């Protein structure tokens, strides 16, 4: 008899996916989802409110994430995220901080992170994390790629290792590459071109590193 899969699958979405049918997402076997809430200090994802409400109603374990914009105040970005998300409910996943290239539309060849002095980068990130953890009562996750994170922070990446890791690595390998400062990854975004019921077009696909009971230990408590 074929052994049942123990992979805990999920997706992450933003306004790029348009309106998501979360009932169909749940029926497709997805257990969790991260939804983009905010970008920088002033922009909210146009689909966040609907995704946030409907994913929970469909029985999906939901988490909200923030895209960090290095040219904006970390404090303002944290306050904006907190205002948009509000309070977490029992059963919600930890919030996540998205650290990746920040590209200006008028200059798509430049990552504006490169304009931030190296010594300023880690304090900005730690400031956002601390403010959000204090306000929401849950330690945020770090989302990034190994090479980006290590190039951005150098040895400073070790300062983030007490935050659980959501690693992006698009591969068909059995496990992802991730910075050695972490003993293990918690979530893995393994594909950016997935097909999932309830989502039009491509969608990012994720896995949780553990059982469904392990996943429940990650959730916000009453």
* Whole-number pLDDT of residue 199: 98
Catalytic-role residue among 98, 111, 204, 206:
98
Distances (CA, A) of 164 to 80, 122, 128, 184: 22, 16, 15, 8
d(CA 179, CA 12): 22
SS3 163: coil
- Respond yes or no: is residue 100 known to be catalytic: yes
CA nearest neighbour of 199 among 14, 19, 8, 15? 19
* Whole-number pLDDT of residue 126: 98
Phi-psi region of 172 (alpha: psi -120 to 50; beta: other; left: phi over 0): alpha
Catalytic-role residue among 12, 45, 111, 206:
12
* Whole-number pLDDT of residue 109: 81
* Whole-number pLDDT of residue 1: 32
* Whole-number pLDDT of residue 222: 66
* Whole-number pLDDT of residue 153: 97
For 142, list phi and psi in degrees, rounded to 5.
-110, 125
Phi-psi region of 141 (alpha: psi -120 to 50; beta: other; left: phi over 0): beta
DSSP-assigned beta bridge partners for residue 66: 38, 97
* Whole-number pLDDT of residue 110: 87
Catalytic-role residue among 100, 150, 158, 159:
100
* Whole-number pLDDT of residue 2: 31
CA 218 to chain centroid, in Å, comes to 14
Specify the CATH superfamily of domain 8-216: Glycosidases (3.20.20.80)
d(CA 11, CA 184): 20
- Respond yes or no: is residue 101 known to be catalytic: no
Give every residue of the chain whose pLDDT is below 70, as ranges. Answer: 1-5, 222
| Other Cβ atoms within 10 Å of 215 Cβ, number | 19
């Amino acid at each position: 008899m074929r052994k049942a899969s123990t992979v805990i699958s999920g997706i992450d979405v933003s306004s790029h996916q348009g309106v998501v049918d979360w009932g169909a997402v749940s029926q497709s076997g997805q257990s969790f989802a991260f939804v983009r809430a905010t970008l920088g200090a002033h922009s909210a994802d146009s689909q966040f409110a609907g995704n946030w409400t409907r994913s929970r109603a469909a029985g999906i374990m939901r988490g909200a994430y923030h895209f960090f914009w290095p040219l904006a105040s970390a404090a303002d970005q944290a306050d904006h995220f907190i205002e948009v998300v509000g309070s977490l409910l029992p059963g919600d996943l930890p919030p996540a901080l998205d650290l990746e290239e920040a590209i200006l539309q008028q200059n798509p060849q430049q990552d504006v992170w490169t304009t931030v002095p190296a010594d300023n980068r880690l304090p900005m990130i730690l400031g956002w994390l601390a403010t959000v953890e204090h306000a929401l009562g849950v330690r945020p996750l770090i989302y990034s790629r190994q090479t980006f994170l290590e190039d951005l922070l150098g040895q400073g990446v070790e300062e983030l290792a007490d935050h659980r890791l959501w690693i992006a690595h698009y591969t068909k390998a059995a496990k992802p590459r991730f910075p050695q400062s972490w003993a293990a990854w918690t979530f893995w975004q393994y594909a950016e071109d997935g097909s999932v019921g309830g989502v039009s077009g491509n969608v990012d696909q994720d896995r949780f590193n553990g059982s469904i009971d392990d996943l429940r230990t990650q959730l916000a408590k009453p």
